[in-house]
Amino acid sequence: MLGELFNNPFAFFSWLIALVVAITIHEFSHAFAADRLGDPTPRMQGRLTLNPLAHLDPLGTLMLLIARFGWGKPVVFDPFNLRNPRRDAAIISLAGPASNMLLSSTLSLILHALLTTPYAMIAYIFIQPVIVMNVLLAVFNLVPIHPLDGFKIVEGILSPDYARQWHELESYGMIFLLFLVFPVFGGVSPISRIISPIINFFLSLLLPGVGSAGVI
């Protein structure tokens, strides 16, 4: 994606806008869910906003630009303010990826509706990157490794005994994640090999003209 900055500046900035939109929606949804479930922490920290500056993480944004997977600034919440901490933490974690998929699905409907109009090409140019980036962010964050959202989601659906054992893996999360994002297979990371087929499956459903080979 960074290579497009000089080769195709318009494409680069369209992807950059898509990235900002995806991260902002994702992190805002975490904050909104936490607030609705009784924890005022995100509101007090200024995260209950659609201002992108409140949600962008420098390293996570750079990773999305370089490797097409990454993260936003984590939304901090206090489990002691939640009525059912384990269940509600899972709901808060799920809210981010769910919002990305909801936005992608909505934009897909709009894009398909515009295909037979004179605005089809311009709509595709602006909407396609937003759909792709939202699907990328959603699928990557559903990987069940701490600190990604998938870890808390799995913990929330396990029985209490298994959840305690699962929680013990949290301290090893970053080690696992660094291993998975490091390119080893001909310059391709293990995580990319794992999630690319899933991403391409969703894109084949959401984007017109994208077959099973996908775009990732």
Q: Is 27 a catalytic residue?
A: yes
Catalytic residue selected from 27, 155, 168, 170: 27
For residues 151-188, one letter each, b for 16 or more C-beta atoms within 10 angstroms of the residue's C-beta and e for the rest, the string is: bbbbbbeeeeeeeeebeeeeeeeeeebeebbeeeeeee
Nearest to 146 by CA among 170, 165, 166: 170
Rounded alpha-carbon distances, angstroms, from residue 73 to 3, 23, 111: 25, 9, 30
Across-strand partners of 188? 185
CA angle 163, 164, 167 (to 5 degrees): 85
- Burial (CB count <10 Å: 0-12, 13-18, 19+), residue 207: buried
Q: Residue 45 and residue 138: Cα distance in Å, rounded? A: 24
CA-closest candidate to residue 15, choices 139, 138, 126 = 126
Catalytic residues: 27
